[in-house]
Structure 1
Amino acid sequence: MDCRLGCGACCIAPSITSAIPGMPNGKPAGVRCIQLDNDNLCMIFGHSDRPDVCADFSASIDVCGTTNQQALWLITDLESSTC
């Protein structure tokens, strides 16, 4: 499965503990990553300072569902069940 351009759920729902440019302490779950632009596209995609956890993420139907809203719900649910 390819990521849906403009979804951004994986950049909003999960916590990220590694440093992100502009967010040196990472980000808590449910907080929009500072590197998302107004179209929910990652501004550091492909850059060396992008966190490994972001670069390693692979979209899948069980995590991303079939809509952006479903992806946000599913990833939020996964995040809350792993805390």
Structure 2
Amino acid sequence: MDCRPGCAACCIAPSISSPIPGMPTGKPAGMRCIQLDAANRCRLFGDPRRPAVCASLQPAIDMCGDSAAQAMHFLARLEIMTSG
């Protein structure tokens, strides 16, 4: 499965605790990553500075669903279940 163009749910919904260029302390859940461009594409894709957790997220039917809204809901729920 390929990423849905313009979705960016995986770059918004989860928290990221590792440093991101421009976000040295990572980012909280629900915050848009500073590395997303206007088309919701990662500026760090393929860049070694991209956090490992970002590179480990791979699109899948159960995570992405049929829409960006479904992906956001799934990832937000996963964030709640795994935080704490």
State TM-score, norm by structure 1.
0.95
Identity %: 59
Question: 1:1-83 alignment to 2 at 5 Å?
Answer: 1-83=1-83
Displaced runs of 4 or more, over 3 A: none
- What letter corresponds to residue 68 of structure 1 in structure 2? A
Distance in 2 between residues matched to 1:54 and 1:28, nearest whole Å: 14
State the shift of 1:17 in Å: 0.5
Distance in 2 between residues matched to 1:5 and 1:44, nearest whole Å: 16
CA-based RMSD of the aligned residues comes to: 0.7
Distance in 2 between residues matched to 1:3 and 1:12, nearest whole Å: 14
Question: What is the number of residues matched between the two proteins?
Answer: 83
- What letter corresponds to residue 12 of structure 1 in structure 2? I
Distance in 1 between residues matched to 2:75 and 2:24, nearest whole Å: 23
Structure 1: segments with no counterpart, 5+ residues: none
State the shift of 1:56 in Å: 1.3
State TM-score, norm by structure 2.
0.94
